[in-house]
Chain A
Amino acid sequence: MTILWTAKYLDGSILPQQEPNGSTNSYHDIDRDNLEAFILHWPDGRPVAVIDFVDDSSGDPDIGPKRLIWRKRHNQGSNGTHVSITLAGWQRTINGRNVQSILYINEQTGAVVLGGQWQEDRPLMHAPAIKEFE
């Protein structure tokens, strides 16, 4: 079962990945400047995780804003096995250093792993190809 996202904005409005009429919104379309929370949920609406984007820097200029990252990562074995995970979280610049906090959610089991920095030497926890707006 696939995990969907819904972006919740500071003014209370939302942008769901999948609208009630079946149409979809793109990850690129999220208004990152007004994001309050990024909600991950099952198709029936049951929540899986909520990632908070409210400014927690207390005005410290050395702490940059959280920048949303989301991907669906697929792992296909030649023996027919397929694992898909949703990775979502944020990266931000703190004292000139880029740091991340990422959730890895197994879509088959619902298990959630909270990761920190990208780990190139760990299964499924390597960095994505970062997009310009991230």
Chain B
Amino acid sequence: MAATVEIRKLTGENSSITSTDVSSGSLQYGTSDEATSPSPIPVPSSGSNYSYWVTLQLNATAAPDNALDNIKFYTDGTNSLGTGVDGIVATASGYASAVGTAGTSGSLLSTSNHDGLTGSPSPLFDYSSGCKLSVSGSIGATTGSFGDRVVSQFNVINTAGAGNSPEETLTLEWDES
């Protein structure tokens, strides 16, 4: 009767996408295309190092009576990651493997590097509960992945400190009927 929905992180090649449930654990960003515990992002001496972009999508493992729709994404609106660390986000109608130089930097998330993006990425922390990112897509009374993907990336510049950044919470909302 009630749907069961997971947040899935998508990794791997287009031809063999791995979908991992990340609903109940922390989501880490790093410089390798892994579902969990990617390589850290080195602080560069100049310029920026990027995380590999992270692709999230909702997946219904138990079907709703009618539909799941009206997907929104947001942060708390405040970047608490520390000096020299920031993020961007976009939605994507298609999947593209996260690419870059493993252990050093991912490729910049852009419409040039990710042909599935529905538009240019925006600053991640521009989206808050008062200004949500709308994510297209829905699913009827069936199971499976649904909605566009939410693709996000963090970048680190030379003023960043060493060590793990503090945690931030990314939020997905959806309606069930």
Taking Cβ atoms with an 8 Å cutoff, the residues of A that contact B are 2, 17-18, 24, 26-28, 70-82, 120-124, 126, 128-129, 131
Contacts and interface: CB of A to CB of B under 8 A. Distances in A.
Given A78-B26, A129-B138, A71 B173 contact: no
A129 B175 contact: yes
Interface string B1-42: 110010100000000000000111111000000000000000
B66 A28 contact: yes
Interface of B: 1-2, 5, 7, 22-27, 65-66, 69-70, 72, 129-132, 138, 167-177
Contacts of B173: 73-76, 124
B65 A27 contact: yes
Nearest to A131: B177
- Grouping DSSP codes into helix (H, G, I), strand (E, B) and loop, the A interface class, with mixed when no group exceeds half, is loop
- Grouping DSSP codes into helix (H, G, I), strand (E, B) and loop, the B interface class, with mixed when no group exceeds half, is loop
Given A76-B171, A78-B7, A26 B65 contact: yes
Contacts of A27: 65-66, 177
B59 to A, nearest CB: 12
Contacts, number: 78
A77 B76 CA distance: 11
Nearest to B76: A77
B176 A78 contact: no
Contacts of B23: 76, 80, 82
A79 B130 contact: no
Given A27-B66, A72-B2, A72-B177, A126 B72 contact: yes
Contacts of B174: 73-74
Contact of A79 (B72, B167, B175): B167
Contacts of A77: 169-171
Contacts of A75: 171-173
Given A17-B1, A77-B170, 12 more contacts: A28-B66, A74-B5, A74-B175, A76-B171, A76-B172, A77-B169, A78-B169, A78-B170, A79-B167, A82-B23, A128-B175, A131-B177
Contact of B70 (A24, A26, A128): A128
B150 to A, nearest CB: 11
A99 B27 CA distance: 40
A76 B69 contact: no
